[in-house]
Structure 1
Amino acid sequence: MNRFDAIKLQQDKLYRDYKSLVEQAYNFRQTDSALSDISEYRAIKLLNKLNRLKYLYREQKQSII
């Protein structure tokens, strides 16, 4: 497995986790606002990691071309 595949797999996993946390935050919004806020915070942290991986993936791709 090369570096691109590893980054892409990590991105896919983080994106699935991000979607799950956003859905969880939405579902908790009416019943438990504290849990909703925690899920939203975790989703934001994952989104930050995703953005860093996108940048890294783009940089690696451009260096080959």
Structure 2
Amino acid sequence: METLKNINERRKQLLYHYKTLIEESYNLRETDCALSDIQEYNAIKTLEELNMLNFLSR
């Protein structure tokens, strides 16, 4: 049961991190396209990890 609690806590952290990366990417879109793309890539990687944890917590 402790493992499920850890998974859920990690999911919350990743979701917050994903949202901040997406917001940063959107804000940088007009000023620095390359940095915006890097932030979007990091957000996609975070989303992949979040999806794996969602699968484990079912």
CA RMSD, aligned part only?
A: 1.0
Name 1:31's counterpart in structure 2.
Answer: 31
1:1-65 to structure 2, matched below 5 A, reads: 2-58=2-58
How far 1:29 sits from its partner (Å)? 0.2
TM-score, normalised on structure 2?
A: 0.97
Aligned pair count reads 58
What's the % identity of the aligned pairs? 48
How far 1:19 sits from its partner (Å)? 0.2
Higher gyration radius (CA): 1
- Structure 1: where are the runs of 5+ without partners? 59-65
TM-score, normalised on structure 1?
A: 0.87
- Structure 2: where are the runs of 5+ without partners? none
